[in-house]
Amino acid sequence: MGWKIELLHLGKMRCHKSRMIWTENRETTIEIPVVGVLLRHPEYGTVVYDTGLPDNWQNCLPEGLQASFPVTEQIPMAEALAKKGLSPEQVDMLILSHLHFDHAGGLRHFAGTQAGKAVIISDTELAN
């Protein structure tokens, strides 16, 4: 028995399509999903890759960022984990792809947990 991999639906945002892919129409907007990945392994434990948006994104993100990437749906990490039968305390490790608000914003759900003490991110990302 190996890894079991599941997506965590953490919300949606809108942005100009040209921020995601090349397009001639730079005014077209698209809705993009905000996701995390739940990895379960009988030996290595439960790992979450990316934590989604901060719960209080309206209060902590600059207005310009909110205008460029308006959040249209936000699902807190604890709620997404509960749908999978888990709580933040049951996660063993976190991996963050990078430190953008829609990938690392849900870190606070893991404060004081084992996973909160076991966060993996590249040294290059931390240096920037």
91/69 Cα distance (integer angstroms): 29
Q: What distances in angstroms separate CA 107 from CA 6, 38, 87, one per listed residue? A: 19, 14, 13
Interior angle at CA 54, CA 76 and CA 91, nearest 5: 55
Q: Are 87 and 79 in contact (CB under 8 A)?
A: no
Positive or negative, the Cα torsion across 61, 113, 33, 85? negative
Q: Are 52 and 11 in contact (CB under 8 A)?
A: yes
Tens of pLDDT along the chain (128 residues) come to 789 999 999 999 998 888 888 888 878 889 999 999 999 999 989 999 999 998 887 787 778 777 888 899 999 999 999 999 999 999 999 999 999 889 999 999 999 999 999 899 999 888 87
**Structure pTM?**
0.88
